[in-house]
Each structure stands twice: as C-alpha cells, then as structure tokens.
Amino acid sequence: MSRNKHKPHIFVLPEDDANRQIANGFIHNLNVNENAIQIMPIAGGWIKVIDCFINDYVSNMRSFKERRMVLLIDFDKDQNRLSRVTSQIPADLKERVFVLGILSNPEELKRKLRKTFEEIGEFLAEDCPGNKNKLWEYDLLRHNETESERIILSVKSFLFI
C-alpha cells in the first residue's frame, strides 16, 4: 500500500526476511498507525541496505520532506557497523534516517526470547509510545538506545495511536 507522500510517514528498509518479519509484527501492534508506515522490499544484506537507500530513496527523501526512513540491519556483533552505515547517509537527511538492528542477528534474539519474529516486533512497538523500554533494554537491543530515542521523538506524533 502506498502512503501519502506529503503527510508524515516512515519507510522501513529491512536487510533480510527476519528483519522484515520483525517490522511486520511492529506494524500489527494496536498502538501503531498502519497508514503511516510501510515496509519496503528486502535489500539482501546490510551493505545492500546502504546501496539501496542511496540509489533508490535519497532523491525522493529530498523531494518529500515528511518522509522518514529506518534502515533495519543486523549488526553481526560489529561495533563499527553503525558508524559505517551512518557515514553513508547524506548530511541533509541525517535527522530523518535511523539505523536500528539487533547486535548479533534476529535468529539469536528469537532463540533467546523464545518468541517469533513478529511477536518480537509487536513487543518492540508496545514499548515505543510510552518510552517503557522493557524489550529495548535487552542486551541484543540496548545498543539502539540513542537511535530509538531519536526516532520516537521524530515519529511519535503520527505513528502511534
């Protein structure tokens, strides 16, 4: 479903199918305004997320000032991945682009939490509007703290019901 490009909205660009399922669970939480968020096609790896973002989304983001974007990647326990990804985001878009992901990979988080990917996404959405941070404080998600605070401030007015 296409979103109104002139109203506040957010696109989610997932690295892989596991991240897509987490995003899908997030959207299906009753707190989320489904009309303000859209999951884009899977990029096929974190480097491809960057390439896809630069080649397919940067130009439109400059045209549509109400668009925000989440680059949803696996960090694969790489301490430098966030800075490598954010260094590729053009300066004029940095305040509207967010990089989130699991410190290792979604499969490890699924195994440790004993939840499906979609259930994980639903729980993450549950924590967002009220800044409860229960699941966001989990060891494989804690590194997202700065980005999750930034994104909540940016989307709270239109994404959560």
* Domains of the chain by start residue, with CATH: 9-155 (3.40.50)
Q: Tell me the mean pLDDT in the region 32-36.
A: 94
**Does the structure show a pLDDT above 80 at 127?**
no
DSSP the chain: ----TTS-EEEEEESSHHHHHHHHHHHTSTTB-GGGEEEPPP-SSHHHHHHHIIIIIHHHHHH-TTEEEEEEEE-TT-TTHHHHHHTTS-GGGGGGEEEEEESS-HHHHHHHHT--HHHHHHHHHHHTTTT--TGGGSTTTGGGHHHHHHHHHHHHHHHB-
End-to-end Cα separation, the chain, in angstroms: 19
User: Can you give the pLDDT at residue 99?
Assistant: 98
Enter the pTM of the model: 0.94
Tell me which residue of 22, 29, 147, 35 sits closest to 86, measured CA to CA.
147
Percent of the chain at pLDDT > 90 equals 82
